Amino acid sequence: MKVLIIGAHGKVGRLLVKELQARKIDFAAGLRKEEQIKAYQADGIPTQYIDLTASPKEIKDSIAQSGADTIVFSAGAGGAGYDKTLEIDLDGAIKTMDLAPELGIKRYVMVSAVYSDDRSKWEQSGIRPYYIAKHYADKYLRGTNLDYTIVHPGTLTDDEATNQIKIQSNYEGGSVARGDVAKVIARALETPSSIKKDYNFVAGDESIVEAIK
C-alpha cells in the first residue's frame, strides 16, 4: 500500500503524516504550495504536488507521479470562501474519485463532516454551503466502485489523542481530538472490514482498533 494524502498540510493531514510514519506505511504528502513542499522535504517527508483546482489531466498526472494505490482525501477550502469550498470540497474531491479507477486506485478514504447527512443541522451551523459540498461528495463516493471509507468525526479539538473513541449511529454531540481522527484513518486503511462503511464518532472509551473492527 502507498497512500497519497490529499490535504497533508491541514491539521488532520499533518497528524496523519506522523501516524503513517509511525506505522511505517508508505505515503506521499499531497501539497499545493511550494513553501509547504520545501518544508516537508526538509523534514525528510515524501511529497507530491497536487492542485485540486487544476484540470483533470493535470490532477491525474500528479496522482500518477505519486505512485499511490490509495487516496486519503483530507483537503478543504478552510474558510477561503464558498466559491473555493465548491471548487475544493466538492469538485476537487469528485475529480479525484473519477480519476482513481483510471489510475488503478481502488482504496479511498474520505474525511467528511459530522453533519454531512443531516440536513436539519446545516442551517444552524452557519456554514450551510460547506455541508452541501460534503454531503454530495460523500453521496457521489458511495455511488462509485471504489473501496471507500468515510469518517465523520465530532467537533475537532487539539487535545491529546487518547486512542479511544465512541461510534455513534447518528451524531449525538461530542468532540474528538484531531490526533484520534488521524488514528482512525490509519486504522481504517489497515482494516478491510472498514470498506464501504461510514463512521460517526467522538471521544469515548472503546479502543480505535476494536471500534473500527
Integer CA distances (angstroms), 4 to 28, 62, 116, 190, in order: 5, 10, 24, 15
pLDDT band per the 50, 70, 90 thresholds, residue 203 = very high
Task: State how far the Cα of 19 lies from the Cα of 25, in Å rounded to an integer.
Answer: 9
Say what the pLDDT of residue 6 is: 98
Task: State how far the Cα of 6 lies from the Cα of 30, in Å rounded to an integer.
Answer: 5
pTM of the model: 0.95
Mean pLDDT of 116-140: 89
For the annotated catalytic residues, the residue numbers are: 130
Does the pLDDT at position 77 exceed 90? Answer: no
As a whole number, the mean pLDDT across the chain is 95
Say what the pLDDT of residue 127 is: 84
Based on the number of CB atoms within 10 Å of its own CB, is 50 exposed (0-12), middle (13-18) or buried (19 or more)? buried
pLDDT tens-digit series, residues 151-190: 999 999 999 999 999 999 877 889 999 999 999 999 999 9
- The more confident residue out of 150 and 117 is 150
pLDDT tens-digit series, residues 98-113: 999 999 999 999 999 8
